[in-house]
Amino acid sequence: MKRIATIATISAFALLTGCASQNVSQPAVPLNGTVETNLKADVKVGETISGESSVNILFNVFKLGGDTQFADGVTYGGSEGGFALGLDPVTSAKSAAAYKAVTASGADVIVAPRYEVKVQDYFVYKTVHVKVTGNKGTVTAIR
């Protein structure tokens, strides 16, 4: 009986302590695609429009409150970056401010947008406020 217990203990130890890691190296080539069209849009430039958004971040990870609707398909750039979990409060606030400006004015695009970014950092708590101003752009024709 003692022999069976010893064999079972050694087997369990071998099964529980064994580990393996595998690393497969795959050469990577960036995928860059370009789309070319012969379409041209006529944009009528109108009055000045603006939108504002704020977001609160706790411990550079948790988003508290803020907007839930965002403009998509635009690269805003100039953000602070480096936030955990891919969270970038500056970019999300810019996107929400652009969405508010476009929907409130009925514009198709914001012509020459200018972003004012105010960041108040209290070490564990951060507030980001963004205001976008630009001109209302309405697409009148696509040729």
pLDDT tens track for 99-138: 999 999 998 889 989 999 898 888 888 898 999 999 999 9
pLDDT at 10: 83
Instruction: List, for residues 4-62, the tens digit of each pLDDT value.
Output: 888 888 887 766 665 555 555 555 566 677 878 888 888 899 999 999 999 888 887 78
Report how far residue 48's alpha carbon sits from residue 4's, in angstroms, rounded to the nearest whole number: 85
Instruction: List, for residues 56-102, the tens digit of each pLDDT value.
Output: 888 877 888 878 888 876 666 554 444 445 457 788 888 899 999 99
Beta carbons of 56 and 41 less than 8 angstroms apart? no
Report how far residue 119's alpha carbon sits from residue 88's, in angstroms, rounded to the nearest whole number: 12
Domain ranges of the chain: 41-142
Nearest residue to 71 via CA among 52, 99, 50, 110: 99
Distance of alpha carbon 101 from the chain centroid: 19
pLDDT at 76: 61
